[in-house]
A = this chain, B = another copy of it.
């Protein structure tokens, strides 16, 4: 009863995600998505009756599940704050392929005033990420407002270093940002400078 589907659900979403992250949502034509997945356009519509927008949503939901499993839960889990943040950076390094792959949340975003189809999902993921990171920083002994500010800065650093890496054509800014992140988040917790 096998061999009817040419590509598994996981691999399919994976390829779609990689394409969106490479060329953006608008830049990802069905021709391109078809080439990337090995499925003809009509086959893509069979799997995603809602068309490109549904592909975007499912890719985003998949990223949300990844975020929960590989970032949010570890951040809320066992170990010292520093160890948990360091573990998170390792996961992010893999997810972004050392900085080569851009972030969906950046490439699917809509203007601040606007209301694209992905806005709510993206916002939710950013908020969850900031909250989880702020939780760890607070656990290290910082007041809640400081923890929140630091967490926002941490997420901004990750996103911004990906943007910079893309702009400069080098993954170095991303790798450096990840390396420095635990120190950035916990500076002043025991030592100074």
Contact = CB atoms under 8 A, between A and B. Distances in A.
A31 interface: no
A158 interface: yes
A164 B152 contact: yes
Contacts of A4: none
Residues of A contacting B: mostly:
helix
A27 interface: yes
A171 interface: yes
Contacts of A23: 26, 111
Interface string A89-108: 00000000001101101100
Contact of A106 (B99, B157, B163): B163
A88 interface: no
Contacts of A99: 112
Interface residues on A, range: 35 or more
Interface stretch (A45-53, A65-73, A172-180): A172-180
Contacts of A166: 109-112
A32 to B, nearest CB: 11
Contacts of A192: 192-193
A169 B106 contact: no
Contacts of A8: none
B164 A126 contact: yes
Interface string A151-174: 011011111110111111111010
17 contacts: A26-B27, A100-B111, A100-B112, A106-B163, A112-B165, A119-B169, A123-B169, A126-B168, A149-B176, A152-B164, A153-B157, A155-B160, A156-B156, A156-B164, A163-B163, A192-B192, A192-B193
Interface of A: 22-24, 26-27, 99-100, 102-103, 105-106, 109-114, 119, 122-123, 125-127, 149, 152-153, 155-161, 163-171, 173, 176-177, 180, 187-188, 192-193
